[in-house]
Structure 1
Amino acid sequence: MVGAAEAGTERAGLGVGIGWRPEIDLTVERLGVDFVEVIAESVDPADIPESLAVLRGRGVPVIPHGVGLGIGGADRPDASRLAHLAACAQALDAPLVSEHLAFVRGGELEAGHLLPVPRTREALSVIAENVRLAQAELPVPLALENVAALFGWPDDELTEAEFLGELVERTGVGLLIDVANLYTNQVNLGLDAREALDGLPLGRLAYVHVAGGHLHGGVWHDTHTAAAPDAVLDLLAELCVRVRPPGVLLEWDDDYPSDSVLAAELDRIRAAMSRGGAVRG
């Protein structure tokens, strides 16, 4: 499968999209977005929801987004989970699939959360092999997402940008950059988000996530249940100064607002993209 590992996800040309959820399926159909993303674990490839079939019939790309593969663990990717991702990609005629660069399980232990991986060279070698194994089983390119963190590992040898850069160089994997997660790590861990943008290999950018959250007790919680703060959209604009993103997607996972509120959020995303693009020229 040469195409899956080597194809340039940066050429996808996705546009502006939203995360498809069954609770807002008709809203998503009405919004007229350019593409959608669906949680892969929520889809049966043999019985695609009617709303997704409607969107596909309109030519709207649908990207399966995995949350449970655990590519950042020491164990090799689970064959059944990989097969499910591959089947979702085929059933939806997806241009790519995405997952998180995260630790989610070890042996019989399920973390119940997307935990950051230790950014050591030993971990890099293990994860690079996991990525290559996943790429070999997927019929389309794979993009990995940076995660929001509530803590950092004390023995990290690389910054997140350096770690992702070396992973891209070794495997050719695409990047799903979540600017809300960069903001979360800036607030919670003091990691400068703009410096991270400067160091990331944005030439391998597949698409971008934008989302909102809540500050509680001095900690930013990336809940996907509120409008994106201006600071997150400023980071999106900063990213667009550096590169034209193939796609930008709004995540909203609960406490769903009205159609008009979601439409306004998409307009805020478009405005931030235009603002950054104007500087880029």
Structure 2
Amino acid sequence: MTERLGVGIGWRPEIDLTVERLPGVDFVEVIAENIRPDRLPESLRVLRSRGVPVIPHGVGLGIGGAEPPDPARLTHLAECAEALGAPLVSEHLAFVRAGGMEAGHLLPVPRTRRALGVVTENVRRAQDALGGVPLALENVAALFGWPEDEMTEAEFLGDLVAATGVGLLVDVANLYTNQVNLGLRAVDALDALPLSELAYVHVAGGHLHGDVWHDTHTAHVPDDVLDVLSELCARVDPPGVLLEWDADYPSDEALEAELGRIRGAMTRA
């Protein structure tokens, strides 16, 4: 996972023209479930014509579930990657459905040896379906921890990477969320994660309600999240760092300023 990506932003239909005209956007990420490979949005075609890498990012594969990944979803991811000429595909280390019921959220995987065996096989199925396009998995913001957990998330990811060669997408906002809500120190996770296999990084903002941090992707990135990014950059030179913003979109100038703040946090390291 050595593809150099730079600093990017999540492409969304609501800000397609903004993303096109923002200076210094080195790559973008698109939610795979929101596009059709045979009918790509014109804005993505424009960005690709400029040589901007576009990464399909899945949110519904459920690679952490007990059931094998849905072949139709895997085919869709593979077709998105082919249509976009993507350097890699990313998804979440999470489960999202069981027994035909949708959870409606990216739920944490039970971090047990038994679950690790199931997820390892799921990852291998996904890698085979992608036909050589690298896959990277993202750490999630956990609402809870399973009582039978035998490993930390970093340990689980480390063993999964070692077993499958899957890449790592580190979401520093999710690490911060787990720090605030669950008391899991972000720097401890950074010290344990296999950062040598880092594909790229997510950064996002959110809101504090009472004592609970909500990772909403609808606000400016707090300095505390940027501090986690700086801590990561002190340990490894990330191939790419991407800003996620999913609703309540600010002005072009505000988004440009956020990208500048991200670059500043990377430089501070």
Indicate the TM-score class for this superposition, using the shorter chain for normalisation: over 0.9
* Aligned residue in 1 for 2:256: 263
Match of 1:31 among 22, 28, 34: 22
Once residues 104 and 97 of structure 2 are traced to their aligned partners in structure 1, the CA distance between those partners, rounded to angstroms, is 8
Structure 2: stretches of 5+ with no match in the other structure: none
1 CA distance for matches of 2:57 and 2:6? 17
Amino acid at match of 1:220: W
Alignment of 1:150-229 (within 5 A): 150-229=143-222
Q: 1:252 pairs with 236, 245, 255, which one?
A: 245
For the pair 1:94 / 2:94, whether they are aligned, the reply is no
Rounded Cα–Cα distance in structure 1 between residues aligned with 2:155 and 2:93: 14
Task: After TM superposition, give the deviation of residue 155 of structure 1 in Å.
Answer: 1.0
- Asked if 1:112 corresponds to 2:104, the answer is yes
Q: Is the aligned partner of 1:64 residue 2:56? A: yes
DSSP 3-state at the match of 2:96: strand
Q: How many residues were matched structurally?
A: 267
Measured in 2, the distance between the counterparts of 1:143 and 1:90 equals 16
For 1:152 and 1:72, the matched residues in 2 are separated by 14
1:122: which partner in 2? 114
| Rounded Cα–Cα distance in structure 1 between residues aligned with 2:127 and 2:138 | 15
1:242-269 deviation digits (Å, cap 9, x = unpaired)? 0000000000000000000000000000
Q: Which amino acid aligns with 2:172?
A: V
1:201 deviation in Å?
0.3
Q: Which residue of 1 aligns with 2:46?
A: 54
When the two chains are superposed, the root-mean-square deviation of aligned CA atoms in Å is: 0.5
What is the match of residue 6 of structure 1?
none
- Distance in 2, matches of 1:191 and 1:155, equals 17
**Aligned equivalents of 2:181 and 2:138: distance in 1?**
18
Shift of 1:217: 2.1
TM-fit CA distance, 1:109: 1.0
Query: Which amino acid in 1 is paired with 2:73?
Result: R
- Tell whether 2:26 aligns with 1:14: no
- For normalisation by structure 1, the TM-score amounts to 0.94
Instruction: Give runs of ≥4 in structure 1 deviating > 6 Å.
Output: none
Q: Distance in 1 between matches of 2:63 and 2:95?
A: 7
Shift of 1:45: 0.2
Percent identity, aligned pairs only?
Answer: 78
Q: Distance in 2 between matches of 1:189 and 1:119?
A: 16
Read off the aligned partner of 1:165 and give its amino acid letter.
G
What's the TM-score, normalizing by structure 2? 0.99
